[in-house]
């Protein structure tokens, strides 16, 4: 019996650790190409989570500036889905580093072979529900290019939505998040802890 409880406790602890440590790429466009870098003042791309809930870690966009000296701040945000279109704002996203914060003056000009992956993060905790569609939206007072793909190779536990505003192919987008442990995981941890206590008392007896 002692052996059973010990093994059970170890399995429970292992399951809890795996759940807490589970960071995942929701969607990643691992292959991207510039097909003219269509210019617009506002663009957005839809994506969908899998069967787990997550806390958003970062969003990386593949961007180009039309002019190397372009100025003006970008507005980047996470939006809800509204019947297949971008809905209400959930959270604003900011450049992750000071280097990324200067991207609108340092991005290569449109047509070059060196697009820049700019990472964005949110202030505070932003939750992503399971099996839910979301949008990443970008706008700027100056023209810019958000690269899109044709026949892309997409990885991740989620999926791209069927829609992207202004494009027939997915825009270059990577969403990274950390899975949120489900209540059953906490219950499993409690049982594991109970098993450890019982095993300890039996051994001490």
Query: Where does the pLDDT of residue 184 fall: very low under 50, low under 70, confident under 90, or very high at 90 and above?
Result: very low
Condensed to tens digits (0 to 9), the pLDDT of residues 35-70 reads 555 555 788 999 999 999 999 999 998 887 655 444
- Residue 148 · residue 170 · CB < 8 Å: yes
- Phi, psi values for residue 44, rounded to 5°: -155, 155
CA atoms within 13 A on the CB side of 110: 16
The neighbour count for residue 15, using CB atoms within 10 Å, is: 16
More confident residue, 73 or 175: 175
CATH of domain 22-180: 2.60.120
Domain range annotation of the chain: 22-180
């Amino acid at each position: 019996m002692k052996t059973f409880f010990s093994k059970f406790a170890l399995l429970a602890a292992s399951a809890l650790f795996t759940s807490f440590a589970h960071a995942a790429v929701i969607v990643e466009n691992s292959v991207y190409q510039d097909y003219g870098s269509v210019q617009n003042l506002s663009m957005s791309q839809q994506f969908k989570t899998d069967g787990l809930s997550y806390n958003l870690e970062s969003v990386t966009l593949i961007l180009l500036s039309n002019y190397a000296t372009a100025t003006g701040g970008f507005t980047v945000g996470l939006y809800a889905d509204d019947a297949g279109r971008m809905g209400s704002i959930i959270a604003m996203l900011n450049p992750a580093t000071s280097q990324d914060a200067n991207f609108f003056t340092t991005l290569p000009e449109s047509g070059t072979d060196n697009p820049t992956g700019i990472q964005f993060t949110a202030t505070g905790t932003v939750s992503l529900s399971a099996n839910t569609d979301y949008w990443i939206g970008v706008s700027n007072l100056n023209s810019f290019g958000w690269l899109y793909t044709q026949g892309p190779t997409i990885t991740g536990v989620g999926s791209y939505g069927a829609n992207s505003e202004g494009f027939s192919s997915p825009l270059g987008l990577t969403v990274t998040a950390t899975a949120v442990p489900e209540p059953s995981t906490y219950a499993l941890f409690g049982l594991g802890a109970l098993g450890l206590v019982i095993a300890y008392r039996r051994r001490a007896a």
